Amino acid sequence: MASAERIAVITGGQGDLAQAIAQAFPSDIYTVLTPSRAELDVSSRDSVQSYFAALPQVDLLINNAGLCDDALMLKLTDSAWNAVLDTNLKGAFLTSQAALKSMLRRQQGHILNIGSYAARRGPAGQANYAAAKAGLIALTQSLAREVGSRNVRVNCVLPGWLETKFTARVTPGKTAQALEEHVLGRFNTVSEAARAIVFMDTLENMSGQVIQLDSRISKWF
């Protein structure tokens, strides 16, 4: 490990956003760990417990691991539902639970959940993904209430539509439709999202908040 005393863990560590976040953190602030799924399967309690047990502490956990398996409701299978919920929601539960052990003991830490605009809009064909990401917002706020008195922060960020491997398989028509919803006429970028996430970690008096990073505008309900 590097010389930084604080440790950050970014799940789904081989993804484009995770790598950009890791590069955006100054090396003197955190030792940043970006485990692949082979190293840390967030849907497996055994894998999560084994990984975190090997760390001296966790100061920042970024729950970035994500999975899509889209289908219209009548074609949505149990396996697709379970896989998406297990990765996007249960995974954040398991890793947060593991990281909190050292955070609460030391009375400091930050959990930052990577959410999605899908939680606000519930796109057709993404019932499993939207449900998981909506649950992640509720988890964020419930957990923030639980651990705030111990000086542990919990926040959620909606990075926006990013042109990454995760969105590469979306059809050009759906991509163009998504772009039309952005009042600035452009998508957010991976580097800008990473820069904002690094900045959010410095806001020591913010917890339980959901921050959106693009230019789409909609009512919450």
Active-site residues, by number, are: 129
Q: Which long-range contacts (CB under 8 A, 24 or more apart) does 181-185 make?
A: 181/216, 182/214, 182/215, 182/216, 183/215, 183/216, 183/217, 184/215
Residue with structure tokens 């396996």?
Answer: 79
Which of 157, 61, 75, 167 lies closest to 117, judged by CA? 157
**What is d(CA 207, CA 155) in angstroms, rounded to the nearest whole number?**
5
Per DSSP bridges, beta strands 60-63 and 6-10 are parallel
Question: Phi and psi dihedrals of 156, rounded to 5?
Answer: -130, 135
**How far is it, in rounded angstroms, from Cα 81 to Cα 71?**
10
